[in-house]
Amino acid sequence: MSDSQPLDFFFIGATGYVGGTLLTCLMSAYPTSKFAVQYRQPDHLERIKQTMPTVRPVLASFDDFDTLRDESVKADIVVNAGSCDSMPLIRAIIAGLEEASSSRQKAGKSKAILLHTSGTNELSDKSTPPGKKASVVINDADLAQIASIPADRDHREIDVAVVNAFERGAFTGYICMPSTVFGKGTGHFKVVSDQIPRAVQYALSTGRAAYIAPGENVCSSIHNQALSQLFHALLKQTLASTPPPPENGFTHFLLATSSGPTITWKELAEKIGDILARRGLIKQGGAVGLDLNDVTDQSAFTTLNNWGISKRAKALVGWESFEKVEDHLEDEITGILAAIDKHNV
């Protein structure tokens, strides 16, 4: 396969925030390629047809093994931006790509490619008290550190299954693990992320921005479009030269975080409070520290550290980002408020 020839994509997660932006990026980069787009809610079909008339919609839940496997068999490239926690989904993808391996080889085709999205909750040590700073920061250039992440962490079982499949060698690809993602999405469904909007909504509903005390937990961040650019760069390189099966599959595992100084969730909450107060949406700026046990809706808060250092992307494809959520917070909150008005959060 080459970067210029028509390709068959099977894309999972097109109606999500990260997935929607990544899909528009890849459709722009590969205009002659065919895109089969998975969706789960039947009422999404009409909007898919209206906004993406060239794609082939595929109705399938993450448990629909046969459909997901069959679509993966037909694909040159599978992109999973739909779930980093569904084992049935990843088993179906792997089964399809491995099933197609021998027929692709006989036809003289290159190995199929999987681009899989994980998340930095996998880096969060839950033995660290809520709101406290992590004692260890994960660096993706340290393969021993990456390989030793405990099996009971969020997303880990899925990522290990993908890494093991990379080592078996029937297909190739990469796992990208973004931290807190921000920036207006360019997809046709969800256009804002989760963590920052939850913090903004809490402040609006209670009249005060807040964090879980002491608020030392660290927020790494990555702009949504920078993340899409990383995936595209990895895909271009893999299409240009299919690598041999890795002896260590974690060499195909990358963090996607911006470089430079980090910010704590306390500092971020204070900035959110100041912006909302300046706009007259709440009375008091800054933020208040809360005890997690006193909070009714704990989902409004990030209590752990999503803290990682991205080095492998620069070494592999020259990718590095310096955009941080705190530098774009005014625009981010404007986008969140617009999405709230449209009930699209």
Q: What is the pLDDT of residues 85-101, one digit of tens each?
A: 999 999 999 999 999 99
pLDDT digits (tens, 9 = 90+) for 282-323: 999 999 999 999 998 888 999 999 889 999 999 999 999 999
Lowest model confidence (mean pLDDT) among 9-18, 29-38, 119-128, 313-322: 119-128
The pLDDT assigned to 241 comes to 83
Strand-strand pairing, 209-212 and 287-290: parallel
pLDDT digits (tens, 9 = 90+) for 212-262: 999 999 999 999 999 999 999 999 999 998 777 888 999 999 999 999 889
The b/e string for 168-185 (b: 16+ C-beta within 10 A; e otherwise) is: eebbbbbbbbbbbbbbbb
Q: Is there a domain that residue 205 lies in? A: no
**What mean pLDDT do residues 137-145 have?**
94
The pLDDT assigned to 341 comes to 84
pTM of the model: 0.95
The pLDDT assigned to 34 comes to 98
Q: Is there a domain that residue 33 lies in? A: yes
For the cut 90, the answer to whether the pLDDT of residue 338 exceeds it is yes
- pLDDT above 70 coverage of the chain, percent: 98
First to last CA, the chain: 38
Max Cα–Cα distance, the chain, nearest Å? 68
Under DSSP, the state recorded for 133 is P
The pLDDT assigned to 3 comes to 66
The pLDDT assigned to 308 comes to 92
Higher pLDDT, 345 or 236: 236
Q: Is there a domain that residue 203 lies in? A: no
User: Can you tell me whether residue 297 is helix, strand or coil?
Assistant: coil
Selection from 151, 81, 141 nearest residue 116 by Cα: 81
Residue type for 142, please?
Answer: D
In the chain, how many domains are there?
Answer: 1
What's the whole-number average pLDDT of the chain? 94
Q: Is there a domain that residue 174 lies in? A: yes
What span, in angstroms and rounded, lies between the C-alpha atoms of 33 and 26? 9
Strand-strand pairing, 218-219 and 263-264: antiparallel
For the cut 70, the answer to whether the pLDDT of residue 7 exceeds it is yes
Sheet of 34-39: strand order equals 56-59, 34-39, 8-12, 77-80, 113-117, 172-178, 253-256
Residue type for 42, please?
Answer: P
- Sequence-distant (6+) residues with CB within 8 A of 70 are 96
- pLDDT band with cut points at 50, 70 and 90 for residue 38: very high
pLDDT digits (tens, 9 = 90+) for 166-205: 999 999 999 999 999 999 999 999 999 999 999 999 999 9
Q: Is there a domain that residue 297 lies in? A: no
Give whole-number Cα distances, 130 to 134, 218, 263, 281, in Å: 10, 11, 16, 28
Q: Is there a domain that residue 345 lies in? A: no
The pLDDT assigned to 249 comes to 92
Higher pLDDT, 13 or 296: 13
Q: Is there a domain that residue 162 lies in? A: yes
Domain residues for the domain of 225 are 8-128+135-192+221-258+306-325
Strand-strand pairing, 180-182 and 287-290: unpaired
How many CB atoms neighbour CB 282 within 10 A?
Answer: 20
Q: What is the CATH number of the domain that holds 52?
A: 3.40.50.720
For the cut 70, the answer to whether the pLDDT of residue 2 exceeds it is no
The answer to whether residues 325 and 196 touch, using CB atoms and an 8 Å cutoff, is: yes
Q: Is there a domain that residue 294 lies in? A: no
